[in-house]
Amino acid sequence: MEKFVKELLTDKVLEEVGSLYGVKNSDLYFVGGFENYIYGFKTDKEYIVRITHSSHRNVEEIKSELDFIFYLAKCKSKVSMPLESINNKLVEVITCKDGSYFIICAFEKAIGTPPNRDNLTPEFFFSYGKTVGEFHRLTKEYNIRPGIKRRYNWDQDLLIINAKKYLPKEDEVVLKRLNEVIEEINKIDKNLNNFGLIHTDIHMGNFYVHNNELTVFDFDDLAYQYFISDIAIALYYFTFMKDEKDQLLFADKLMEPFMKGYLSINHLSKEDYLKIPLFLKLREIILYIVFHRTVDAGLNEFANKYINRYKNRIINNIPFLDIDFLKYY
Residue 76 belongs to some domain of the structure = yes
- Measured CA distances, 105 to 4, 89, 162, 165, 201 (Å): 21, 9, 26, 29, 19
The backbone torsions φ and ψ at residue 114, rounded to the nearest 5 degrees and listed phi first, read -60, 150
The pLDDT assigned to 295 comes to 59
Residue 205 belongs to some domain of the structure = yes
Neighbours of 43 (CB within 10 A): 11
Do 258 and 221 share a structural domain? Answer: yes
Residue 113 belongs to some domain of the structure = no
Nearest residue to 43 via CA among 22, 29, 25: 22
**Which one of 108, 138, 167 terminates a domain?**
108
In CATH, what number is assigned to the domain containing residue 292?
A: 3.90.1200.10
Task: Tell me the pLDDT tens digit for each residue of 189-236.
Answer: 999 999 999 999 999 999 999 999 999 999 999 999 999 999 999 999
Task: Tell me the pLDDT tens digit for each residue of 295-306.
Answer: 544 558 888 899
Do 181 and 132 share a structural domain? Answer: yes
Do 286 and 193 share a structural domain? Answer: yes
Residue 115 belongs to some domain of the structure = no
The pLDDT assigned to 296 comes to 47
Do 189 and 163 share a structural domain? Answer: yes
The backbone torsions φ and ψ at residue 195, rounded to the nearest 5 degrees and listed phi first, read -145, 135
In CATH, what number is assigned to the domain containing residue 13?
A: 3.30.200.20
Residues 177, 285: contact at Cβ < 8 Å?
A: yes
Task: Tell me the pLDDT tens digit for each residue of 66-79.
Answer: 999 999 999 999 99
Do 152 and 56 share a structural domain? Answer: no
**Which one of 56, 74, 108 terminates a domain?**
108
Residues 103, 63: contact at Cβ < 8 Å?
A: no
Do 163 and 49 share a structural domain? Answer: no
**Which one of 83, 108, 133 terminates a domain?**
108
Do 251 and 179 share a structural domain? Answer: yes
Do 238 and 185 share a structural domain? Answer: yes
Do 39 and 168 share a structural domain? Answer: no
Q: Which residues contact 249 (CB under 8 A, 6 or more apart)?
A: none
Amino acid residing at 314: I
The pLDDT assigned to 299 comes to 59
Residue 155 belongs to some domain of the structure = yes
Residue 260 belongs to some domain of the structure = yes
Task: Tell me the pLDDT tens digit for each residue of 25-54.
Answer: 999 999 988 789 999 999 989 999 999 999
Do 224 and 126 share a structural domain? Answer: yes
Domain of 89, in residue numbers: 3-108
3-class DSSP state for residue 179? helix
Q: Across the chain, what does the average pLDDT equal?
A: 95
* Angle, CA of 180, 303 and 238, to the nearest 5°: 75
Residue 116 belongs to some domain of the structure = no
Q: How many domains does the chain have?
A: 2
> Is residue 5 predicted with pLDDT exceeding 90?
no
The pLDDT assigned to 213 comes to 95
Q: Which of 5-9, 26-30, 154-158, 274-278 has the lowest mean pLDDT?
A: 5-9
Do 100 and 153 share a structural domain? Answer: no
Residues 238, 193: contact at Cβ < 8 Å?
A: no
The pLDDT assigned to 7 comes to 86
Helix (H) or strand (E) holding 106: strand 101-108
Do 285 and 139 share a structural domain? Answer: yes
Q: Which residues contact 10 (CB under 8 A, 6 or more apart)?
A: none
Residue 117 belongs to some domain of the structure = no
Residues 290, 237: contact at Cβ < 8 Å?
A: no
